[in-house]
A and B are shown apart, each in its own frame.
Chain A
Amino acid sequence: MKELFLKDISNTFTVEENQKLFIDNFDGEKSFSVTVNSDVESQLSLLSLEGFSGNIDIKVNTNSRLEIFYADLAKNSSNVKVNISLDEGSGVVFHLASLTTGTSNKNFTISVDHNAKNSTSFVDNYGVVKENGKLIFDGVSYIKNGCVKSVTRQNAKIMVFDEKSIGIAKPILKIDENDIQASHGAVVGKISDEHLFYLMSRGLSEEKAKVLITYGYLKPIMNGFDESTQQKIEELIEGRM
């Protein structure tokens, strides 16, 4: 697939052919829209290091696919609203990994509208909150009446590190059609004592064990980035833990 590295994204962006889009400095305040034309396979990889806030409206046209990887490693607060609209036979996979530390307050609202039949959406939001951080995963997956054979899944997981860290996950389903598949799940909790004990019993310090577990936990996002960016993300996570 053709790869395109963007410095920034224009207010309206159209994906006309099969391609992977990368934005490495996905920061600042901005709202924009992305349209994926019909019969196109596409990927959008976003790496945020400073913090992004704004609305992202995405429309996926008939029989097209879009896979989004959103790595948020910013120290600043952010407020992101993603609205994805699906046409007949189209599908979206959304992966979010957020590392929230310090006093930052982050709010991610990822919503999907199924507007036609045979549309699929998978939303996986993963987060780690430390110190006085606050992280909210929100969003509605909406299957409208008549959108038969549509499939939706929303998955939210937040690992909470410290006593004052706050994690909130609200995966909401709104279903107006019977002939569909829908599921959602949410887990908010601390790092498993059993996992820590296992790694430490092999000689890893608590810090090292936590880094490995956290990195493993945020790992699904890595598939969206090339090797050098993966290394950068890994170092950033290690540095922040």
Chain B
Amino acid sequence: MSTLVIKDLYAEVEGKPILKGVNLTVNEGETVALLGPNGHGKSTLLNVLMGHPKYKVTKGEALFDGQNILEMTTDMRSKLGLFLGMQHPSEVPGVINSDFLRAAINEHSEKPISTYQFYKLLDNATKEVKMPFDLATRSLNEGFSGGEKKRNEILQLVLLNPKIAFLDEIDSGLDVDALQIVAEVINKLKEKGMGFLAISHYARLYDLINPTRAVVMINGRIVVDGGRDIISKIDMHGYEWIKTELGIEIAKEEKNMNTVSIGSCAVKENIK
């Protein structure tokens, strides 16, 4: 059984510390709900674990089966069996979804998959997530609706079959039916033994996927690690009780002035 152990993890973005000593263990086969107010580091944690270039780890380690993944490239982490279902999946023009999926599957298997095998696999997976097959033949996420993007994330989750999957608000942008489908897929994967660390702001997703544990992140640390009852408590009472029960002052989300001015509208750092 695979285990991810995060030890005293510190990370910053553009010089601003976000994670301030995270300690957390996630086992394969476990479903952990990651809760916490906005701006306290939940998404940062998942992105740091996957190796997003924007975040800089300043201290600590994350051991996946004993190996420190923080020293690895993002693709190596994926090959080891980690996966991040993104909150805002990128639109990549010109890269055909199916070409990308096939390349990704090939990276995860010893020998390249045949065209026939691939289409069979893709056909089954698109049916499982109830995604129209033609979305697989279009440019990656380009022009996809919010719900379609999230389904495409779940499609990739099914195809790549990781040991532990991080889900960053996988339920946002989904309608009730789509949420049901996504939850069904997650439950099937859970039965197969996949582990999950899932962020959501809504108890609804958690009701559907039945987490084994719930952890709460405040001020860049995990301050509560306990049973499922925490989810309903937060759903009903918010986060204030943590302040009174644990004596933790909850930092308010800072909102900086927008640095983009009208004069810079034609300047882009990256080509989209």
Interface residues of A (CB under 8 A from B): 157, 159, 186-206, 208-209, 212-213, 215-220
Partner of A200 from the list B74, B94, B139, B268 (CB cut-off 8 Å) is B74
Do the beta carbons of A189 and B269 come within 8 Å of each other?
A: yes
Q: Which residue of A lies closest to B99 (CB)?
A: A212
Distance, CA A215 to CA B96, complexed state (A): 10
B235 located at the interface, meaning its Cβ lies under 8 Å from any Cβ of chain A in the complex: no
Give the 8 A-B CB pairs with smallest separation, nearest first: A216-B94, A203-B107, A203-B78, A216-B95, A200-B74, A192-B270, A202-B104, A219-B94
B132 located at the interface, meaning its Cβ lies under 8 Å from any Cβ of chain A in the complex: no
- B242-268 at interface with A (beta carbon < 8 Å): 266, 268
Contact A187:B271 (CB < 8 A) given known A198-B90, A199-B100, A200-B74: yes
Do the beta carbons of B75 and A192 come within 8 Å of each other?
A: no
Contact A212:B100 (CB < 8 A) given known A193-B54, A198-B90, A201-B84: yes
B89 located at the interface, meaning its Cβ lies under 8 Å from any Cβ of chain A in the complex: yes
Do the beta carbons of A192 and B94 come within 8 Å of each other?
A: no
Residues of B within 8 A of A218 (CB): 94
Do the beta carbons of B270 and A190 come within 8 Å of each other?
A: yes
Q: Chain A nearest CB: distance from B171 CB in Å?
A: 20
B50 located at the interface, meaning its Cβ lies under 8 Å from any Cβ of chain A in the complex: yes
The residue among B50, B266, B270 with the most chain A CB atoms within 10 A of its own CB is B270
Residues of B within 8 A of A213 (CB): 92, 94-95
Q: Chain A nearest CB: distance from B73 CB in Å?
A: 7
- B174-233 at interface with A (beta carbon < 8 Å): none
Q: Which residue of B lies closest to A219 (CB)?
A: B94
Do the beta carbons of A198 and B86 come within 8 Å of each other?
A: yes
Do the beta carbons of B90 and A192 come within 8 Å of each other?
A: yes
Do the beta carbons of A204 and B103 come within 8 Å of each other?
A: yes
- B63-97 at interface with A (beta carbon < 8 Å): 73-75, 77-79, 83-84, 86, 89-90, 92-96
Distance, CA A161 to CA B271, complexed state (A): 11
Do the beta carbons of A190 and B74 come within 8 Å of each other?
A: no
Known: A197-B51, A209-B75, A213-B95. 13 other contacts (CB 8 A): A191-B270, A193-B53, A194-B270, A197-B50, A197-B53, A198-B92, A201-B75, A202-B104, A204-B75, A205-B107, A215-B94, A217-B271, A219-B94
Do the beta carbons of A199 and B270 come within 8 Å of each other?
A: no
Contact A157:B271 (CB < 8 A) given known A193-B53, A198-B86: yes
Query: How many A-B pairs fall under 8 Å by CB?
Result: 104
Do the beta carbons of B93 and A192 come within 8 Å of each other?
A: no
Q: Which residue of A lies closest to B50 (CB)?
A: A201
- Offer 15 A-B interface pairs, CB within 8 angstroms, sorted by A: A189-B269, A190-B270, A191-B270, A194-B90, A196-B53, A197-B74, A199-B104, A200-B78, A203-B78, A203-B79, A203-B104, A205-B107, A212-B95, A213-B95, A215-B94
Contact A200:B92 (CB < 8 A) given known A191-B271, A193-B270, A212-B99: no
Q: Which residue of B lies closest to A207 (CB)?
A: B75
Q: Chain B nearest CB: distance from A9 CB in Å?
A: 30
Do the beta carbons of A200 and B73 come within 8 Å of each other?
A: yes
Q: Which residue of A lies closest to B103 (CB)?
A: A204
Residues of B within 8 A of A208 (CB): 103, 107
Residues of A within 8 A of B84 (CB): 201
B52 located at the interface, meaning its Cβ lies under 8 Å from any Cβ of chain A in the complex: yes
B43 located at the interface, meaning its Cβ lies under 8 Å from any Cβ of chain A in the complex: no
Contact A201:B78 (CB < 8 A) given known A193-B53, A206-B73, A212-B100: yes
Q: Chain B nearest CB: distance from A2 CB in Å?
A: 30
Q: Chain B nearest CB: distance from A208 CB in Å?
A: 6
Distance, CA A189 to CA B268, complexed state (A): 7
Do the beta carbons of B108 and A203 come within 8 Å of each other?
A: yes
Q: Chain A nearest CB: distance from B76 CB in Å?
A: 9
Do the beta carbons of A192 and B103 come within 8 Å of each other?
A: no
Distance, CA A194 to CA B270, complexed state (A): 9
B31 located at the interface, meaning its Cβ lies under 8 Å from any Cβ of chain A in the complex: no
Q: Which residue of B lies closest to A196 (CB)?
A: B53
B160 located at the interface, meaning its Cβ lies under 8 Å from any Cβ of chain A in the complex: yes
Residues of A within 8 A of B53 (CB): 193, 196-197
Do the beta carbons of B269 and A204 come within 8 Å of each other?
A: no
Q: Which residue of A lies closest to B74 (CB)?
A: A200
Q: Which residue of B lies closest to A128 (CB)?
A: B271
Residues of A within 8 A of B79 (CB): 203
Residues of A within 8 A of B83 (CB): 201-202
Residues of B within 8 A of A195 (CB): 90, 92
Residues of A within 8 A of B139 (CB): 216
The residue among B73, B75, B86 with the most chain A CB atoms within 10 A of its own CB is B75
Residues of A within 8 A of B89 (CB): 198
Residues of A within 8 A of B270 (CB): 189-194
